[in-house]
A and B are shown apart, each in its own frame.
Chain A
Amino acid sequence: MSVLETHPEDHEHVHHDESWLRKYVFSQDHKVIGIQYGFTALCFLLFGFLLMLMMRWQLAYPGQPIPIVGGILGADNAPGGIMLPEFYNQLGAMHGTIMVFLAIVPLAVGAFGNYVVPLQIGAPDMAFPKLNMMSYWVYATGGVVMFASFFVPGGAANSGWTSYPPLSVTATAGQSWWLLGMVLLITSSLLGSVNFIVTIFQLRVEGLTWMRLPFFVWAQLVTAFLLLLAFPPLEAAGFFQLMDRVLDTSFFMPSGLVVSGEVVRGAGGGSPLLWQHLFWFLAHPEVYVLILPAMGIVAEVIANNTRKPLWGYKSMVYASIFLGFMSFIVWAHHMFLTGMGTTISTFFQTTTMIISIPSVIILSALLLSLWGGSIRFNTPMLFALAFLPMFGIGGLTGLPLGFSATDIHLHDTYYVIGHFHYVVAPGTIFAMFAGVYYWFPKVTGRRMSDFLGKLHFWPSFVLMNCIFMPMFIQGLAGVSRRLYDGGMQYAHAQPVLHWNQFMSIAAFCLFFAQIPFVVNLFLSIKRGKECGDNPWQATTLEWAAAPSPPVAHGNFPQTPVVHRGPYEYSPPEHPKGFMPQHATVPASEEG
């Protein structure tokens, strides 16, 4: 282990010594790992999206052969290209699993967190680089296991992404693969979250006090705590379910259960509700794992492009901590219709109403930050701005679901699907896009095309609403969420059935609306306009790690010292309009 001072020339030296494999595959550099996470997660995002497109075809045109891919799905899944109900169930379960655990969380935490957090706190790397590498490879293995499960007999998991027993215990072999994959993914995020918390606690540079941290770092810190403490119960539940399936135990299997006229083997005496408790103990905090990093990215982009400090930075920080804390005691609002007692329902209904307060504080603070700003409408800013109303719709439509009385009507309908997709799809995913456009110059030293970016943004924005808004209409009419024909056989669904085609066509168009993004991403790596070290004239530390991309292992040519808060835009004494956190004199040479 060398104890050399961090001179740039030493880095160059080390740099050349590393083998290709160490540098790009089994790298311990947080920037490379961040890119690995990002690339893998984007691939899974596309894959999950394709699964959804097949489902949308089936919902809009039930019984008609799927175009293009129909022929290659195999006779077990889609004979003659016509989707079987069993295959539809696989797609539903795996779309949810892949989007949540393999696409969005790895993108938000693994990619952006890994790349940006050490840079924003002025650290040379994460606290445990080897653990970081392991975390990625365990995640990748989990992804492979999940993907491979499509090819085992009976296909992938088909009991919904929530995997409720007893259905999941009696399901085909794919469910065991799902559980194995989940154990790997849980292990990966456990390693990651320990690493993030230690990094943020221990590796902040001199002067970077807690209240000088960029909001993105705060969001990542709270997220890491959620992952650390909420995931283990699901790991335990996963072991239980695996034992129920493999060793015929009865943790989740009640006595005398009869399936298809046959008494299910095993001793019985178990509780199906136990799984739901343990699952939602994770899965509700998981919602905030999906949303907090997104809020962090949006906060960075908005502060940067309004050219003024965030409004109510401290309230936002406290709100996010409170949000994280409360997210552990709301889980049973997913279980109002399980026959749980009314007293306990009232308790969880109350905590659910309380948790909406910090979300509203953060959203309001972001909204008020726009007031009086001289806003730059570049691509990242457009996505960040769109996040606000989209997340607002997603959040507000959640309230009727949080009340135990109104939930009776809405539970398990398309209304729920519309609600959480508004939070996650035009909400979180838009924030992820904002992050990609915003930090691309940091990663490559080049800008993505603003024209292609806008060509990506506007159609996506319109189409997202075309897909998810009608779901509220269908849900209020009472259309159940897991029907493989979209509700054709139900009389009460008939008046709203025509929306299915509308939504599906919008979804297909959304696919084409992503082409400018993919083209932009790959073209800009080599052909994008070179943009210097600080193209957005930002104040936070990641832009001090010049050049872009920062040097491997070490990041900063000189360890910076922080003198002020994260968003010192438009300080009156400074004509250039911004003061980086590390700048000692008002005049900045960068940008």
Chain B
Amino acid sequence: MVEIPYNVEARPDTGLYNAKLGIWLFLASEVMLFGALFSSYVLLRTGDPNFMTIPHEIAEHLGGHGESHVWSDQLNVPLAFLNTLVLIFSSVTMVMSWVSLKLEDFGKYKLWMGLTCLCALGFMVIKAIEYNAKFSHDLFPSSGNFLAIYFTMTGLHALHVIGGLIVNGYLWGPGAKMWKTEPERFTNRIEVAGLYWHFVDLVWIFLFPSLYLL
């Protein structure tokens, strides 16, 4: 194998190493993906006067939960609030794991990265509880377009969390071996994984108010 130039060190004129430019380009495409989802949400919500209204038959079925006739009241704000905190905290632990590597403290790195993974796991558990509560009340994507949007957007976001969890888990476990052989390259990897992870956090920051609070 030949060495690809600027795999580790930055190219002088762009000031970037390859993977960093690569991840930003990937995130740009992610912006367009979630942009399309948000755009669809706006279009559907403003286009259908009954978008937020729970149909009678479902409202009756909901019983005690059906006092309100607006879909967004069915979502669990406290749980989502908790999840927001979990995700924000995981963003800090992620960036701290990178700081630890910059300070050449591998033990601290393991700690912060481990915490990041735990937060991701916690986020998924809370998400599962939320979904489960919906299903147990017979609320599915087909119940109405608000729920359809809710499940699609949070579901796609959850897939991104799982993706991040896999990558971070790898970098915490088997992938961490690289620290011994190529510390600089490994630090770059953490930075790149971090950029992705912060983006996942960023998406949630917009998802949370637009789905739960409005």
Q: Which residues of A come within 8 Å of B, CB atoms?
A: 1-3, 6, 11, 14, 123-125, 127-129, 190, 193-195, 197-198, 201-203, 228-233, 235-237, 239-240, 243, 247-251, 255, 266-267, 269-271, 274, 277-278, 281, 553-554
B22, A128: Cβ atoms closer than 8 Å: yes
Chain B positions 37-78 with a Cβ under 8 Å from a chain A Cβ: 37, 39-40, 43-44, 47-48, 50-51, 55
Which chain B positions have C-beta within 8 A of A194?
Answer: 22, 25-26, 29
* Closest chain B CB from A551 CB (angstroms): 10
Determine if B103 is an interface residue (Cβ-Cβ < 8 Å): no
Cβ of B4 within 8 Å of any chain A Cβ, yes or no, is yes
Contacts of A195 in B (CB 8 A): 22
Is B40 touching A278 in the complex (CB atoms < 8 A)? Answer: yes
Q: Which residue of A lies closest to B18 (CB)?
A: A127
Min distance, Cβ B136 to any Cβ of chain A, angstroms: 17
Complex contacts, B21 vs chain A, CB 8 Å: 197-198, 201-202
A235 with B33, Cβ < 8 A, contacts A243-B148, A267-B144, A269-B144 known: yes
B1-35 interface (Cβ within 8 A of A): 1-6, 11, 14, 16, 18-19, 21-22, 25-26, 28-30, 32-33, 35
Say whether B18 contacts A198, CB under 8 Å.
yes
Given known contacts A203-B4, A267-B144, A269-B51, A240 and B40 CB-to-CB distance under 8 angstroms: yes
Query: Which residues of A are found within 8 Å of B28, using beta-carbon distances?
Result: 228-229
* Contact across chains for A249 and B142 when beta carbons are under 8 A apart: yes
**A-chain residues with CB within 8 Å of residue B51 when the two chains form the complex:** 269
Q: How many angstroms between the C-alpha atoms of A247 and B144 in the bound complex?
A: 11
Q: Is there contact, CB below 8 Å, between B1 and A251?
A: no
* Residue pair A271, B47 in contact (C-beta under 8 Å): yes
CA distance A274 to B38 in the complex (A): 12
Task: Assess whether B145 is in contact with A251, with CB atoms less than 8 Å apart.
Answer: yes
> Do A249 and B32 touch (CB < 8 A)?
no
Give me the 7 closest cross-chain CB pairs, A-B, nearest first: A233-B36, A232-B33, A236-B36, A249-B148, A248-B142, A232-B32, A269-B48
Most buried by B among A195, A228, A251, A255: A251
User: In the complex, which residues of chain B have a beta carbon less than 8 angstroms from the beta carbon of A250?
Assistant: 142, 145, 148
Which of A193, A195, A229, A269 neighbours the largest number of chain B CB atoms within 10 Å of its CB?
A269
A interface, by DSSP: helix, strand, loop or mixed?
Answer: helix
Closest Cβ of chain B: how far from A360's Cβ, in Å?
29
Chain A proximity of B144: nearest CB distance (Å): 5
| Residues of A contacting B26 in the complex (Cβ-Cβ under 8 angstroms) | 190, 194
Contacts of B55 in A (CB 8 A): 267
In the complex, the chain B residue whose C-beta lies closest to that of A205 is B5
Q: Give the interface size bracket for B toward A.
A: 35 or more
Contact check, B32 vs A198: say whether CB atoms are below 8 A apart: no
Closest Cβ–Cβ distance, residue B61 to chain A (whole Å): 14
Cβ contact within 8 Å between B2 and A190: no
Cα A236 to Cα B2 in complex, Å, equals 38
Q: Mark B122-150, 1 if CB is under 8 A from A, else 0.
A: 00000000000000000011111100100
* Distance of A375 Cα from B30 Cα, bound (Å): 47
Complex formed: what's the CA distance from A250 to B21 in Å?
38
Q: Given A202-B21, A228-B25, A247-B140: A553 and B1 within 8 A (CB)?
A: yes
With A201-B14, A202-B6, A232-B29: A14-B144 Cβ-Cβ less than 8 Å: no
- A190 cross-chain contacts in B, Cβ below 8 A: 26, 29
- What mask results when residues 72 to 110 of chain B are scored 1 for a CB within 8 Å of chain A, else 0? 000000000000000000000000000000000000000
- Among the listed A3, A233, A270, which residue makes an inter-chain contact with B33, where contact means beta carbons less than 8 Å apart? A233
B18 contacts A269, CB within 8 Å?
A: no
With beta carbons under 8 angstroms apart, the residue of B11, B40, B43, B144 that contacts A236 is B40
- Cα A193 to Cα B11 in complex, Å, equals 20
**What residues of B have a CB within 8 angstroms of the CB of A251 in the complex?**
40, 44, 145, 148
Q: Say whether, besides A232-B33, A239-B152, A267-B145, A124 and B18 are in contact (CB < 8 Å).
A: no
Q: Is B205 an interface residue (CB 8 A)?
A: no
Complex Cα distance, B25 from A193, in Å, reads: 9
A249–B141 CB distance below 8 A:
yes
Distance between Cα atoms of A554 and B5 in the complex (Å)? 11
A-B contact pairs, 15 of them (CB 8 A): A2-B1, A11-B2, A125-B2, A125-B4, A128-B22, A190-B26, A202-B14, A202-B16, A203-B5, A228-B28, A233-B32, A239-B152, A240-B152, A247-B142, A249-B148
A243 touches B141 (CB 8 A): yes
With an 8 A cutoff between CB atoms, is B166 at the interface?
Answer: no
Given the complex of chains A and B, what is the CA–CA distance between A233 and B29 in angstroms? 9
User: Quick one: which of B5, B148, B152, B182 contacts A124, CB cutoff 8 A?
Assistant: B5
In this complex, the member of B21, B26, B143, B145 whose beta carbon has the largest number of chain A beta carbons within 10 angstroms is: B145
Q: How far is the CB of B27 from chain A (nearest CB, A)?
A: 10
Query: How far, in Å, is B198 (CB) from chain A's closest CB?
Result: 18
Q: Please, which residues of chain B bring their CB within 8 A of the CB of A3? A: 3
Verify B148–A229 contact, CB threshold 8 A.
no
Task: Please report the C-alpha to C-alpha distance between residue A1 and residue B36 in the assembled complex, in whole angstroms.
Answer: 41
A270 to B16, CA, bound (A): 44
Chain B residues whose C-beta falls within 8 Å of the C-beta of A128 in the assembled complex: 4, 18-19, 22
Q: Tell which of B25, B32, B36, B44 touches A270, judged by Cβ atoms closer than 8 Å.
A: B44
How far apart are the CA atoms of A202 and B28 in the complex, in Å? Answer: 18
Is B156's beta carbon under 8 Å from chain A? Answer: yes
The CA-CA distance from A251 to B153 in the complex, in Å, is 13
